[in-house]
A and B are shown apart, each in its own frame.
Chain A
Amino acid sequence: MSGALPIGLGTLLALGSALAAQTRDSAAAAQHREGVQAFTQISTVLLHPRCLNCHTNGDHPTQGDDRHPHLFRVARGGANTGAAGMHCSTCHQTANNPATGVPGATGWELAPLSMGWEERTPRELCERLKDPTRNGGLDLNGLGRHFTSDARVAWGWSPGGGRAPVSTPKETFLAAATTWLARGAPCPE
Chain B
Amino acid sequence: MFELKVNGTVRQVEADDDTPLLWVLREQLGLTGTKFGCGIAACGACTVHVDGQAVRSCSFPVTAAVGRSITTIEGLSAGRAHPVQQAWIAEQVPQCGYCQSGMIMAAAALLKEKPAPSDADIGAAITNLCRCGTYQRVRRAIQRAAAGAAR
Contact = CB atoms under 8 A, between A and B. Distances in A.
Contacts of A97: 18, 41, 59, 61
A99 B18 contact: yes
Given A84-B113, A93-B61, A99 B125 contact: no
A72 B122 CA distance: 12
Interface in B92-151: 106-107, 109-114, 117, 121, 124-127
Nearest to A93: B64
A94 B68 CA distance: 15
Contacts of B121: 83-85
Contacts of A73: 124, 127
Nearest to B19: A99
Contacts of A141: none
B61 A84 contact: no
A89 B55 CA distance: 7
Nearest to A97: B59
A27 interface: no
A46 B55 CA distance: 30
B125 A86 contact: yes
A103 to B, nearest CB: 10
Contacts of B20: 99-100
A86 B56 contact: no
A90 B102 CA distance: 12
Given A84-B113, A89-B55, A93-B59, A100 B127 contact: no
Nearest to B42: A71
Nearest to A98: B18
A28 interface: no
Q: Which of A74, A89, A90 has the most CB of B within 10 A?
A: A90
Contacts of A86: 54, 106, 110, 124-127
A101 B42 CA distance: 11
A144 B125 CA distance: 36
A12 interface: no
Contacts of A177: none
A72 B40 CA distance: 13
Most buried by A among B117, B126, B127: B127
A91 B41 CA distance: 6
B59 A102 contact: yes
Interface in A61-106: 71-75, 77, 83-87, 89-91, 93-94, 97-102
A126 to B, nearest CB: 33
A71 B40 CA distance: 12
24 contacts: A72-B127, A73-B127, A84-B113, A84-B125, A85-B111, A85-B112, A85-B114, A86-B110, A86-B124, A87-B54, A89-B53, A89-B55, A90-B47, A90-B53, A90-B54, A90-B56, A93-B60, A94-B64, A97-B18, A97-B59, A98-B18, A99-B39, A100-B59, A101-B40
Interface of B: 18, 20, 39-42, 47, 53-56, 58-61, 64, 106-107, 109-114, 117, 121, 124-127
